[in-house]
């Protein structure tokens, strides 16, 4: 009886620790998000950039960053899964794709809202917009393959191939404004940005970094939660197969 209680106690402690770590990410993200909202609406100067419409910039850019990073995570986990065949990597790629498609959808939504307010149109077949739309279709295509392909390792392999090819789109999106003439603003963040002052002032730049940190931590929290749930789904499926 003592041993049994000890085991259950250990399991309870493990579950408690499991939930504490993701909640820490959630709290950190919420705090940074609150600071981001304050900075965007009360701290950064609007007259140095695009006026009121530029406020969505602090949400659109982090969403774009995460949308591209997430497909790279999906592809990297896919490669490792194809090499090792371990379900944990398949769970990671699936979780990253599900969370990534949400952020990719928000990239498009915030982008068209910004374009409408600043340029007067909802959509144009601009290279950067088009390649971002392609990224969204890649996410949706991956999830459709996983939903309709045979269950098990075969479907996972099919999805992994889609993800690996899809990751090629991420650097194309980033370089679109360099390679083609585009209505989209030039690169003002990242390794190829010519000058950090291009986005206006120090306050604007710091607010952007703050928003990127807030959304990145939020993404990490959602990814950890969805990964844990996916692993639990695998355990239930395995238990069901063993019962049969």
Is the pLDDT at 45 greater than 50, yes or no? yes
For residues 12 and 18, give the distance between their C-alpha atoms in angstroms, rounded to a whole number: 10
Average pLDDT score over the chain: 79
**Is 90 exceeded by the pLDDT of residue 176?**
no
> Residue 189: helix, strand or coil by DSSP?
coil
What is the pTM (predicted TM-score) of this model? Answer: 0.79
CA dihedral defined by 129, 135, 136, 138, rounded to 10 degrees? 150
State the sign of the Cα–Cα–Cα–Cα dihedral 56, 58, 61, 65: negative
Mean pLDDT along residues 42-61: 73
Task: Give mean pLDDT, residues 86-101.
Answer: 92
pLDDT of residue 20: 44
Give tens-digit pLDDT for 2-34.
333 333 444 444 444 444 467 888 899 999 999
pLDDT band at 202 (very low <50, low <70, confident <90, very high): confident
pLDDT at residue 161 is higher than 50: yes
For the chain, first and last CA: distance in Å?
31
CA-based nearest residue to 184, from 104, 105, 128, 110: 128
């Amino acid at each position: 009886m003592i041993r049994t209680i000890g085991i259950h106690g250990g399991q309870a402690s493990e579950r408690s620790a499991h939930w504490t770590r993701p909640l820490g990410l959630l709290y950190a993200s919420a705090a940074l998000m609150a600071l981001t909202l304050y900075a965007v609406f009360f701290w950064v100067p609007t007259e140095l950039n695009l006026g009121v419409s530029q406020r969505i910039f602090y949400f659109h850019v982090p969403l774009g960053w995460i949308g591209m990073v997430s497909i790279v995570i999906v592809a990297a986990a896919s490669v490792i899964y194809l090499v090792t065949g371990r379900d944990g990597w398949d769970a990671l790629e699936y979780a990253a794709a599900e969370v990534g498609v949400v952020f990719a959808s928000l990239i498009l939504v915030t982008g068209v809202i910004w374009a409408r307010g600043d340029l007067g149109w909802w959509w144009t077949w601009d290279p950067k917009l088009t390649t971002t739309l392609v990224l969204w279709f890649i996410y949706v295509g991956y999830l459709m393959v996983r939903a309709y392909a045979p269950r098990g390792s075969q479907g996972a392999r099919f999805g992994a191939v889609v993800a690996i090819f899809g990751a090629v789109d991420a650097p194309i999106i980033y370089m679109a404004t360099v390679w083609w003439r585009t209505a989209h603003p030039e690169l003002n963040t990242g390794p190829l940005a010519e000058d950090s002052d291009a986005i206006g002032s120090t306050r604007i730049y710091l607010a952007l970094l703050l928003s990127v940190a807030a959304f990145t931590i939020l993404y990490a929290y959602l990814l950890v939660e969805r990964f844990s749930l996916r692993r639990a789904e695998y355990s239930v499926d395995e238990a069901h197969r063993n019962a049969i």
